[in-house]
Amino acid sequence: MEYQYTMPEVTKNMNTNLIYRGDCHSVLKRNFPENSIDLIYIDPPFSFDPKYARLWYDKETLEMFDEMREGKVKHYIGWMSKRLEQCHRVLKDTGSIYLHCDWKFGHYLKVEMDNIFNRNNFQNEIIWAYKSGGSTKKRFSRKHDTIFLYSKSNNYIFNPLKEKSYNRNLKPYRFKGVKEYEDEIGWYTLVNMKDVWNIDMVGRTSKERMGYFTQKPEELLRRIILSCTDKCDVVLDPFLGSGTTSFVAKTLGRNSIGIEKEKKYLKIIEKRMNPPQRKINEETKLEIKI
């Protein structure tokens, strides 16, 4: 049975600011018209750690993980392909999709994305670099995730973000026509953001932490949403998890639609959208209707 959780609407033109409970493939197929979404961020399950997987995932997903551990990736890629095809269908021609993955399956998923979205619409391979995680003496420490950015066409929204680029020796260049700034580190200019993002993971002591083991940092979603949407655009997250995408979208004045299969995750999302300790706009309150 499919449930629908709603948040008060910001726009009267679309049935947005919803959280659907169900499998994203069937929810997208049944409820979403073609060319209706401006931005998709998709962070599918790819963790093999039995300690966490058996705590959070249902039987079907656990069986898929078992096959993946045995080297049978065909089932997982087929499972993902169906969902990516639906994402392509609902995405506007001016829209973009960010696919979040890691070293285990990124290369397989890149081929699927090339086939579904057209390899000519591949725009960036973003490296999210972080400090957390283990290390080994057998190889270099694995300290990054990969995020593939595809557009649906060549006519897509992109708002370049800026970042600091510190001058050599941290001293002013004083080049004509170049604006320079100074902070506690030294002198810098503002340049277009690069495709390597150094953002801390959501640690155990982080104020953002909601108890969801693969929770993504708000800063990561802030960059993604700002770069490829304008105010009041619609952002979709087919694997909503702890609700980071919906939360950040609301704080940035975007409309959001989330899909989440597990009921226990919805409790985390509700807590996040109604936190008594955090000051947020009244529109972000989650209203549960079953």
**In-domain check, residue 30:** yes
Does residue 240 sit in the same domain as residue 264? yes
Does residue 208 sit in the same domain as residue 184? no
Look over the chain and give the mean of its residue pLDDT values, rounded to a whole number. Answer: 84
Does residue 253 sit in the same domain as residue 168? no
**In-domain check, residue 55:** yes
Query: What distance in Å separates the CA atoms of residue 171 and residue 35, rounded to the nearest whole number?
Result: 49
Q: Which of 219, 225, 227, 282 is nearest to 254 (CA)?
A: 225
Q: How many domains does the chain have?
A: 2
User: Given this model, what pLDDT does residue 159 score?
Assistant: 98
**In-domain check, residue 245:** yes
Kindly list the averaged pLDDT for each block of 10 residues, start to end, along the chain of length 290: 46 68 92 96 76 57 65 82 98 98 93 98 98 83 95 98 96 91 97 96 78 85 98 96 92 94 82 53 38
Q: What is the CATH number of the domain that holds 230?
A: 3.40.50.150
Query: What distance in Å separates the CA atoms of residue 271 and residue 153, rounded to the nearest whole number?
Result: 37
Q: Which of 39, 65, 78 is nearest to 221 (CA)?
A: 39
Catalogue the E-assigned strands of the chain: 3-6, 18-21, 37-42, 91-101, 122-129, 144-151, 162-166, 181-182, 187-192, 196-198, 234-237, 255-260
How many other C-beta atoms lie within 10 A of the C-beta of residue 231?
A: 9
User: Given this model, what pLDDT does residue 287 score?
Assistant: 42
Does residue 248 sit in the same domain as residue 164? no
Which residues span the domain enclosing 27? 3-157+195-284
Query: What distance in Å separates the CA atoms of residue 268 and residue 286, rounded to the nearest whole number?
Result: 11
Does residue 14 sit in the same domain as residue 133? yes
Does residue 60 sit in the same domain as residue 8? yes
User: Given this model, what pLDDT does residue 269 score?
Assistant: 85
Query: What distance in Å separates the CA atoms of residue 229 and residue 156, rounded to the nearest whole number?
Result: 10
Spatial CB neighbours of 71, under 8 Å, sequence gap ≥ 6: none
CA distances from 284 to 191, 224, 243 (A): 33, 19, 11
**In-domain check, residue 164:** yes
Query: What distance in Å separates the CA atoms of residue 100 and residue 2, rounded to the nearest whole number?
Result: 26
Biggest alpha carbon–alpha carbon distance for the chain? 65
**In-domain check, residue 290:** no
Does residue 179 sit in the same domain as residue 49? no
Does residue 137 sit in the same domain as residue 103? yes
Q: Is 49 helix (H, G, I), strand (E, B) or coil?
A: coil
Does residue 163 sit in the same domain as residue 200? no
Q: Name the token pair of 64.
A: 């898929």
Q: Which residues pair with 191 in a beta bridge?
A: 163
Does residue 34 sit in the same domain as residue 64? yes
Q: Supply the pTM of this predicted model.
A: 0.85
User: Given this model, what pLDDT does residue 64 score?
Assistant: 65
Does residue 36 sit in the same domain as residue 171? no
DSSP state, residue 184: S
Contacts 24+ apart (CB under 8 A), 53-57: 55/213, 56/213, 56/262, 56/264, 57/262
**In-domain check, residue 223:** yes
Does residue 91 sit in the same domain as residue 231? yes
**In-domain check, residue 289:** no
